[in-house]
Amino acid sequence: MTTSTRAEPRLGHTYADALPELVTDWRAEEPLDPGLVVLNEPLAASLGLDPAWLRGEEGVRFLLGAHVPDGARPVAQVYAGHQFGGYSPRLGDGRALLLGEITTEDGALRDLHLKGSGRTPYARGGDGRAVLGPMLREHVVSEAMHALGIPTTRSLAVVATGRPVVREDGTLPGAVLARVARSHLRVGTFQYARALDDPALLRRLAEQAIARHHPAAAQSDAPALALFEAVRNAQARLVAQWMGVGFVHGVLNTDNVTISGESIDYGPCAFLDAADPGAVFSSIDHQGRYAWGNQPAVTGWNLARLAESLLPLIAEDAGVDTDGAVELATASLSRFATSYAAAWHDVLRAKLGLPAGLSDDALAPLGEDLMALVRGGEGGPPVDHTGFFRDLSAAARGDVAPARDRVLDVAAFDEWVATWRALDPDADAMDRANPVHVPRNHLVEEALEAATAGDLDPLRRLLEAVTSPYEVGDVDARYREPAPASFGAYTTYCGT
């Protein structure tokens, strides 16, 4: 990536030029009284953006979409999506703009996207705005995910607009999140293009996705199927990593599943304390569709929607009819289970400090027995996910008590530990795979509440902790404790 900086950023518009049918040229709403709340200086520098300029008046207006550099072409992107299983034919950036693309030194493109920048033609009934607290939540969680080594969109900055935003729970400060992503191509983008019934457009979209994210697919005789397989494998790896850190996305609609394999949209997400597979935090997920333990299965369902969208191209590439394409796509989709199992075993091997050479067959029963203990089993509550796995490093070093004290079925635990320790786990490697700091819900809420009231100190402290997730350091012990009982059940909300 580039390290040279220049004041006025140069933004490209490859996507808008290649797919004019999927964008609308648009401008951001004028801010009332803008104020920079947080700036991610290392990210800015890595993109060749000048942090000093970004902090200045013109830079802040740039981060709100109010100052558009020469040559930039801000657009709202259109997409469709299955939301909780029901199809919405036209969603799109209702409150967001793609400002343009930054080219890194190695030639890769990074989208610069503004969320909360005002109503667009895709706003439907919404006001086009975003609230400061939820945008700061996205800042904290995306930077924590990045530090954990999980592919994610990044947060460049959060800027207050000075505009009050009316929500169910009152009038709240408005803000814009400046987000950086490998792209904003979603499964829903393909669903939208497919519904237009224009194979040439669908082909151009697939070519964009291949060029930007999965270039090896271009070498295949069947590029559309190769693209699907690359997305399938990237999503399998992503969800396995979420499961490893106890992350619940909360709204895995097809418009929130990226083609790049990055996590996107930290609206109603949460990190688990208690490792309950049925854990749901979102106020609207009544059926538990997006529960922690359901994320692999629902990702398979979302990938089926991508495969359906690609059918005309799969048929064309293979010279077969639709039935033939369905057969090819179904066979490829059915390999998601294997792909996910392999990705999960990689995560588990790392979390348990076991060698890469240990076979999946040897690992699988060990993993299943462990996860049964973690879930708590008959009559016992699930254990604290983050704390338990971190305590296993101490167990690998011979101090079994901290992990043992967390589980109810100590006999089963002792048996499990004996089997595991016979495999000679590497405790130092475990410390690099099991975080000590994740953005626990009570800490996030505390930081957002204080920030909304004007005190940014708790947010800074939380950011410091979660951006060094594997180091105990001199971070206060409360950043590694689960929520106190007084915090109660936690509920998150979409679209704030």
Ligand X SMILES: Nc1ncnc2c1ncn2[C@@H]1O[C@H](COP(=O)(O)OP(=O)(O)OP(=O)(O)O)[C@@H](O)[C@H]1O
Q: Please enumerate, by residue number, every residue annotated as part of a binding site.
A: 92, 94-95, 115, 127-128, 179, 186, 256, 265
Report the nearest approach of ligand X to the CB of residue 122 (Å). Answer: 6
Closer residue to ligand X in complex, CB, 124/335 = 124
Q: Is 256 in the site for ligand X (CB under 6 A)?
A: yes
Binding residues for ligand X, rule CB under 6 A, total 20
Q: With CB under 6 A as the contact rule, which of the stretches 203-211, 263-271, 332-340, 350-358 interacts with ligand X? A: 263-271
Q: Is 495 in the site for ligand X (CB under 6 A)?
A: yes
Report the nearest approach of ligand X to the CB of residue 464 (Å). Answer: 25
Partnered with residue 175 across adjacent β-strands are: 160
The H or E element that residue 176 is part of is: strand 170-181
Closer residue to ligand X in complex, CB, 217/269 = 269
Structure-token pair, residue 315: 């048929």
Cα–Cα separations (whole angstroms), residue 371 to 277, 298, 349:
10, 20, 13
**Which residues sit in the known binding site for Mg(2+)?**
256, 265
Residue keyed to tokens 């939208």: 192
Q: Which residue is at the shortest CB distance from ligand X?
A: 126
Partnered with residue 179 across adjacent β-strands are: 113, 155
Gap between the Cα atoms of 225 and 315, Å rounded:
9
Closer residue to ligand X in complex, CB, 94/300 = 94
**101, 265, 276, 317: which one binds ligand X (CB under 6 A):** 265
Report the nearest approach of ligand X to the CB of residue 481 (Å). Answer: 30
Contacts of 480 (CB under 8 A, 6+ apart): 386, 387, 390, 436, 437, 472
Gap between the Cα atoms of 281 and 295, Å rounded:
13
Q: Is 371 in the site for ligand X (CB under 6 A)?
A: no
Q: Is 98 helix (H, G, I), strand (E, B) or coil?
A: strand
Closer residue to ligand X in complex, CB, 130/313 = 130
Q: Is 447 in the site for ligand X (CB under 6 A)?
A: no
Q: With CB under 6 A as the contact rule, which of the stretches 39-47, 63-71, 259-267, 297-305 interacts with ligand X? A: 259-267
Closer residue to ligand X in complex, CB, 240/251 = 251
Gap between the Cα atoms of 198 and 233, Å rounded:
27
Q: List helix spans (H) across 376-436.
A: 385-396, 401-404, 410-421, 427-431
Structure-token pair, residue 272: 């688990």
Indicate left, alpha or beta for 149 from its phi (over 0: left) and psi (-120 to 50: alpha). left
Report the nearest approach of ligand X to the CB of residue 188 (Å). Answer: 9
Q: Is 323 helix (H, G, I), strand (E, B) or coil?
A: helix
Q: Is 494 in the site for ligand X (CB under 6 A)?
A: yes
Residue type, 466: V
Q: Is 267 in the site for ligand X (CB under 6 A)?
A: yes
Q: Given 33, 50, 106, 255, which residue is catalytic?
A: 255
Gap between the Cα atoms of 189 and 208, Å rounded:
12
433 close to 393: Cβ distance less than 8 angstroms: no
Q: Is 255 annotated in the active site?
A: yes
Closer residue to ligand X in complex, CB, 227/251 = 251
Q: Is 173 in the site for ligand X (CB under 6 A)?
A: no
**Which residues sit in the known binding site for ATP?**
92, 94-95, 115, 127-128, 179, 186, 265
Partnered with residue 166 across adjacent β-strands are: 171
Residue type, 374: V
Closer residue to ligand X in complex, CB, 129/437 = 129
The H or E element that residue 55 is part of is: helix 51-55
Gap between the Cα atoms of 64 and 69, Å rounded:
12
**41, 58, 127, 346: which one binds ligand X (CB under 6 A):** 127
Report the nearest approach of ligand X to the CB of residue 64 (Å). Answer: 16
Report the nearest approach of ligand X to the CB of residue 269 (Å). Answer: 11
Could you say which residues in the range 81-100 bind ligand X, by CB under 6 A? 91-96
Q: Which residues are catalytic?
A: 255
Q: Would you tell me which residues interact with ligand X (CB under 6 A)?
A: 91-96, 115, 122-123, 126-129, 251, 256, 264-265, 267, 494-495
